[in-house]
Structure 1
């Protein structure tokens, strides 16, 4: 399943890198992939949204979601097979789903463009765009570079996948930052709805888990932002201890819900690349995103805590 296309130098360069670095060198460089993966993205956006600056977190999270959605849709159009699936001399050292078969495209996804490279360019690039400080601008170039390099070294992406991912992430930040700035805060919800409906068209041709994960997060996150603005309106914190508690609490809720919502279904069903399984994935992530972005912040609300305290005192 999928298409095969590449420049002649790409597999030769990848094989040369794997040979010269060896397993220890590859293992070391592969760690940079973590800066473009789900856990790190959640930590960055969770810290910004729950602790540092809510508006900042919403902006960075939105850029990350749009980049992820665009990436998965382009992948399902190009349908480029991963390098290790085509070239026997290239080994895969860091699959997307370690439990699934290496050649299960539904689980491992397609190759073009690199999601890690695109997501890291969008997230760290949006941080730099928002803050407009030299240090973060440097980070916005350095981190995605090493993330992309790691994806080539571990055999998951051709160099052209990575280059396209970097360019795609930068375009997302520039174009959608302009759109949201022109729309203004009062029309952000409308723009989010339009963005979601556009990306929802991918349901007719996307058959990989990454797309349905992103759509689920969008389906939960965008309404949660409107819910939070209208009914919660929590305050950020500058207290390091409180910030750590919020991050730990969010991580516990995420892991707990992700486990709990899988219980009604068999492992075989969840691992299958079928539309019912994908839709369950979408629903699961929609619930998790809504709770984390809209319901969980209720615990931070001082006004709500005071009201609860007054009720307890009266009782």
Structure 2
């Protein structure tokens, strides 16, 4: 509490804006945009690594929250918490911190450039400190988010690389079964949604890799028939990919949510959880496999 009160004592308008931005950069919309731009437009494999690591990390985070059921500091005496609308569920470990750490650890490990490493460290530290500054997490929540985020990112990235190189899809399906067992014992709304994200990625990745296999590079034949080089598509193609992908993803999301509201307005909590699981699985599956299919059909590959 002394640490949280210290951060509260140094608050000012500028610091509040800075740390609020750090928090926003780890929330759902921002992570989706970062992953989508990387996966669809810049570097497909890096995007796949990020998505696999972050969907797995979110599922693990939700499991741990449901296991420990730690209360947040929000509402404690003398503490004024900010941006509490983003502080849902239990406290330990910090989801924002773990997500930022997972994403940026995967990016740092992939590119291995000093400026990417520096930027990643700033984003990781900033995300964690922002949760203390806003008064929505305890210090141990943030510390655990950093440690778990790094470990989970390293392990899942290595696992993905093995699957990627050996086409060992069965490993992904085994992890899916393992997480399903965990969800069964620690069931909760956030955990079900997190597991749906992971399910959507695993199924989408297998379908895309086997049947679509789009690329963020294009082949250009040179005069010498024995050589072939890779070059990046034009910026206009990348922009069109992003527009097609994000618009169709938004349509799928809104349509799926509308159907749930329309058809299951008076359904039981269990039925709504199943509907949410299916809905989020479909949305992520579309982003991983459906949008790339459209890229192929529209000649944007």
Shorter chain as normaliser: what TM range?
0.7 to 0.9
Q: Which moved more, 1:60-69 or 1:274-283?
A: 274-283
Q: In structure 1, what is the equivalent of residue 220 of structure 2?
A: none
Q: In structure 2, what is the equivalent of residue 115 of structure 1?
A: 95
Cα distance in 1 between the residues matched to 2:92 and 2:268: 19
Q: In structure 2, what is the equivalent of residue 95 of structure 1?
A: 84
Aligned-pair CA distance for 1:145: 0.5
Q: In structure 2, what is the equivalent of residue 54 of structure 1?
A: 44
Cα distance in 1 between the residues matched to 2:243 and 2:158: 34
Aligned-pair CA distance for 1:277: 2.4
Q: Secondary structure at the match of 1:263?
A: helix
Which structure 2 residues correspond to residues 156-195 of structure 1 after superposition, within 5 A? 156-183=136-163, 185-195=165-175
Which structure 2 residues correspond to residues 15-94 of structure 1 after superposition, within 5 A? 15-22=5-12, 25-85=15-75, 87-94=76-83
C-alpha offsets along residues 45-66 of structure 1, whole Å, 9 cap, x if unaligned?
A: 1112111121221111111111
Q: In structure 2, what is the equivalent of residue 249 of structure 1?
A: 244
Distance 1:258 1:192, change over 3 A: same
C-alpha offsets along residues 171-215 of structure 1, whole Å, 9 cap, x if unaligned?
A: 012223333444552344222112211111232343543322221
Distance 1:232 1:165, change over 3 A: same
C-alpha offsets along residues 268-305 of structure 1, whole Å, 9 cap, x if unaligned?
A: x78x993332222111111111112111112222xx45
Distance 1:245 1:184, change over 3 A: closer
Cα distance in 1 between the residues matched to 2:250 and 2:25: 19
Q: Secondary structure at the match of 1:21?
A: coil
Contact 2:201 2:284 in 1 (8 A): yes
**Unpaired segments of 5 or more residues in structure 1?**
1-10, 103-107, 307-315
Query: Are 1:145 and 2:125 counterparts?
Result: yes
Contact 1:180 1:191 in 2 (8 A): no
Distance 1:189 1:279, change over 3 A: same
Cα distance in 2 between the residues matched to 1:279 and 1:23: 43
Contact 2:108 2:116 in 1 (8 A): yes
Q: In structure 2, what is the equivalent of residue 296 of structure 1?
A: 291
TM-score (norm 2): 0.85
**Unpaired segments of 5 or more residues in structure 2?**
217-231
Contact 1:43 1:247 in 2 (8 A): no
Q: How many residues align?
A: 283
Q: Secondary structure at the match of 2:11?
A: helix
Contact 1:63 1:172 in 2 (8 A): yes
Distance 1:184 1:299, change over 3 A: closer
